[in-house]
Structures are given as structure tokens and as C-alpha cells.
Amino acid sequence: EIVLTQSPDFQSVTPKEKVTITCRASQSIGSSLHWYQQKPDQSPKLLIKYASQSISGVPSRFSGSGSGTDFTLTINSLEAEDAATYYCHQSSSLPLTFGGGTKVEIK
Amino acid sequence: EVQLAESGGGLVQPGGSLRLSCAASGFTFSSYWMHWVRQAPGKGLVWVSRINHDGSSTSYADSVKGRFTISRDNAKNTLYLQMNSLRAEDTAVYYCIRDYTMDVWGQGTTVTVSS
């Protein structure tokens, strides 16, 4: 099973600040890494697919990078509406797995 | 509009059974692999099962293998999850999801296993 380790677990950030969340895979997964945003009492929402591909309708301040085992989600100029928990997910091999999540709080 | 709508959740005693349904609309359901993912209260996301576009191939997490069965009816645009021998640790919100990129999620249905 591929383990995805996200860091940090929690981040408290002021608006307009840049946020960086990392996701490390226990073995190489190529670019089969996707990022999701989950707000309280809502379903997760796809932000970035295949490590760096943007999703229609997602603000351009969200971007992804990486390949192999190390991946990054960047939120440029954080807005209040970005308060949420962020998850990475690998679709390279079964069982599909998710990172433990990173909760982003707005100061 | 592309939508997934789960139903069938509820309160069930340990050892009981439940069948979840997921109605798809706004896209060609038969063209997509589908998944079930669950989220226990206050916890993270856990993949449960997946099925290929025509139902000929299925896979399960070890924690549900032998107890849960995923299936689909492409004529009815509906995905199912039959859950048997339910345990307290199966308590969660269950989400129906489209594709390996998990680009479309339902609103979830809550399953509570308790006596």
C-alpha cells in the first residue's frame, strides 16, 4: 500500500499569505497525484489533477507541482474562503490512498 | 449539470446490512469507473471500493473485502454498495465518486452502526 504523508497537519495563515502543503508518497507514483479541498460539512472538491493540471472553475491561486514521490500544493495569496482541509490522493495503484489532511485556518 | 446523489444510509445494528445507492445524472454514466470513499466522524478520507465502467471488474479495501459488494446498473445510471456484517468501525459518511481523478463527488450518505 502506498502511504501518503502530508505536512503540515495544521497551518494558521493570514489573508494574502502564501500557503505550501507537501505530500510525500512512500514509493514513486509518477504524476498520479490529485489534490482536494474539503470545507466543513461539505463534500471534497477536486482542485488539481495529475500533480499539476488545473481544473476548470478552480481559482488560479491554486497550483500543484511535483512527480515521483514529492508533491506540493501552493495557494498564492490566501483568501478567507480558502479555510478548509486539504487532502492529496494517489491513483497509481490499489488500494487507492489519501494523505491524512492539512487543515488551513485563517488568522 | 453533472450530479451524484447518494441514498440509503441510516442507523443499523452491528451485524446488520444496508444497501447504498448513488444516482448519476448529467453525464454518460456507463463511460466512467466509479468509487465509494468513506469518512468517519472527524477523520480523513478512506477509499472503499471501485468498479469499472461495465461492472466486470471490482476492487475493495482490505477492511471491507468479503463484506461489501459494489455493483452498477448502467441502464438506471445507478451505483450500489451492498454492505453486510456491519461493524461499529464502518460508521461514516459514504461518498459516491466519479473517475480515478475523483472529479465529481456526491453529497454523501451517513451510515451509523450502533446497538
Label the pairing between strands B109-113 and B92-98.
antiparallel
The shortest CB-CB distance from B106 to any of A38, A43, A50 is to A43
Q: Do B44 and A87 lie within an 8 Å CB cutoff?
A: yes
The shortest CB-CB distance from B105 to any of A44, A91, A97 is to A44
Q: How does residue A31 score in pLDDT terms, banded at 50, 70 and 90?
A: very high
What pLDDT sits at residue B77?
Answer: 98
- Give the tens place of pLDDT for each residue, A75-99: 999 999 999 999 999 999 999 999 9
What pLDDT sits at residue B100?
Answer: 85
- Give the tens place of pLDDT for each residue, B16-62: 999 999 999 999 999 999 999 999 999 999 999 999 999 999 999 99
- Give the tens place of pLDDT for each residue, B64-113: 999 999 999 999 999 999 999 999 999 999 999 999 889 999 999 999 99
Instruction: Give the mean pLDDT of chain A.
Output: 97
Taking CA atoms, B83 is separated from A62, A95, B12, B36, B63, in Å, by 37, 19, 11, 12, 12
- On the question of pLDDT at A63 being above 90, the answer is yes
